[in-house]
Structure 1
Amino acid sequence: MSGFNQGRRGIIRAAAGLLAAPALLPARRANAMEPVDVELVLAVDVSRSMDPEEQELQFNGYAKAFRDSRLAEGIANGAIGAIAVCFFTWSDWDMQNLLVPWTRIDGAAAAHRFADALDAAPRQAFLYTSISGAIDYASQLFGQGYEGTRQVVDISGDGINNSGRPLKAARAEALERGIVLNGLAVLDRTPLPPQFANLQPSLDDYYHDEVIGGPGSFLMVAEGFRAFEGAVRRKIIREIALNAPGPRIERAFA
């Protein structure tokens, strides 16, 4: 009789397990990562070297890039046909503001909504230039709902690292995690005073040697702020395309 009761209890436990199993499925779906072709973080410099006009040129450049039909076409040509993108500004080592959170873009309508969010985002300027802080912050943004075949950080700026921990350490840690670092160096054509002219390296050389890294990484150089719009459009189109052709350093002119 005891054997019968043990068998009966085993059947009851098995049945209870089958009944409970469906309740676990929604939790698994909720925690599932949505696949995309690339997770792209746009990191934009708003340090004091950026005056209001230059900052507006940056924001407008990104917004116009997402309204460009070629960008939507490039996304559609991906294996999945969708990307995830977010946008934050940075300056001091502890000053990063996520202005547009992770957004799935799978066509022109979604890309235009992202551009509208950029138009509506606040414009603020701060003091220093912490590229290392921007890389550290960007590295922590990945894995939030999306799983890309690539993880890319797009860092745009017009100055060298002068705040926070050493750039070399932040860069090395990001590369160890498999993150690709691309750069958009904006060359300010206003000449420096003679006493400062030779105190810092050429910005394009600095970004090439100290900032970018990872498989397929590249540097876009905007020759002045008026060239920024064309530079950012070309850069993002390259970033969303797998194995996109192009030189290690590419230059855009106004």
Structure 2
Amino acid sequence: MTDLLEVQTSPKDWASDQEVRWCPGCGDYSILKAVQIALSELGGKPDETVFVSGIGCAARFPYYMNTYGMHSIHGRAPAIATGLALSRSDLDVWVVGGDGDMLSIGGNHLIHALRRNVNLTILMFNNQIYGLTKGQYSPTSEVGKVTKSTPFGSLDQPFNPISVALGAEATFVARTHDMDRRHMVETFKRARNHKGASFVEIFQNCNVFNNGAFETITGKSVRDDMTIPLVHGEQIRFGADKELGVALS
């Protein structure tokens, strides 16, 4: 009798042979690499993994993963992924989309996927703009944002995606950003290992139509002081030397 050995994959095993076609410098490249690293470290199997996307720059994601995938219709990725996850519980199903795709036309599908607590890993790339259609304001654009569709500034209050997910009673909610690959990898691994619906918001820089949207948070000179890692059961410490903390009096 021959023993079967589990084959450990590398990040390259998760990359497809397709040319990655995002704008040079786009934060999506960093997110793509972090997902590939996370899946290789998790010991996942490409032939048992599926990425479902909607429409937008982030929706190109399935083409660049050496897995099964579906580039679906605008805003409906969570609904399609829900059906897939319920009918094929053996599959590792991921949903990828942008803030416009998931919080505008797809907002209803997102909140229902979260409240149903289906076993999905949902990644929302938030760049506070519509990038694929070249620079219109999105549901996360700040008040006063001047874009091609809001020449006098946006009047609308933006969604806070984390608040939306918590309001839908998602059982795993996290936030990370495209300038911290190590944090992204760890966050994606924890999200994928969660049983139920996982929602991860990723601050992602669109360097063409909304460059520097998160610079005051993710900039190299400030991010250690402006980002606070939250780990269940651990002390809340931050700063370049972990010299800062949060305590309840």
TM bin (shorter chain) = 0.3 to 0.5
Q: Please say which structure displays the higher CA radius of gyration.
A: 1
Q: Which is helix-richer, 1 or 2? A: 1
What TM-score results when the alignment is normalised by the length of structure 2? 0.43
Q: Which is strand-richer, 1 or 2? A: 1
What TM-score results when the alignment is normalised by the length of structure 1? 0.42
